[in-house]
Amino acid sequence: MDLNRLPGETLVGRRNGLIAKEYFKLDELFASKEQISISIPNRFKAITSSFFLGMFESYILKLNCDKSQFYERFHFAAPERLRRQIDTGLQDAIEANHA
């Protein structure tokens, strides 16, 4: 899945995350039970937690997982600064759903 197909320079907003989830047919990919590779190019300046939650929260709930389990299923090819933002979004989702 190549997020380069998305417009703009910042991935922001839960609604936009949900739209991206639908655009890439992420539910179908998730149902395949295979690892999902996501490419995020350097042109993106940021990925907000709200965008991340819109796109991935339902899978975190379905997997009832920790970080390592999530990353076994979803592989992100992205610059380090964006991977740190993804990790923050993932931690926020895990904490919110295990509170």
pLDDT for 81 = 96
Assigned token pair, 25? 């047919």
**Contacts with 56 (C-beta within 8 Å, 6 or more apart), sequence order:** 17, 21, 70, 74, 89, 90, 93
How far is residue 88's CA from residue 5's CA, in Å, rounded to a whole number? 23
Q: What is the tally of structural domains in the chain? A: 1
Q: Say whether pLDDT at 83 is over 90.
A: yes
pLDDT for 97 = 73
Residue-wise pLDDT tens digits, 38-69:
999 999 999 999 999 999 999 988 888 889 99
Structural domain including 69 reads: 3-97
Residue-wise pLDDT tens digits, 8-35:
999 999 999 999 999 999 999 999 989 9
Q: In sequence order, what E strands does the chain have?
A: 10-11, 36-39, 46-47, 74-77
- Eight-class DSSP state of 5: G
Q: Say whether pLDDT at 99 is over 70.
A: no
Question: Looking at the whole model, is its pTM more than 0.85?
Answer: yes
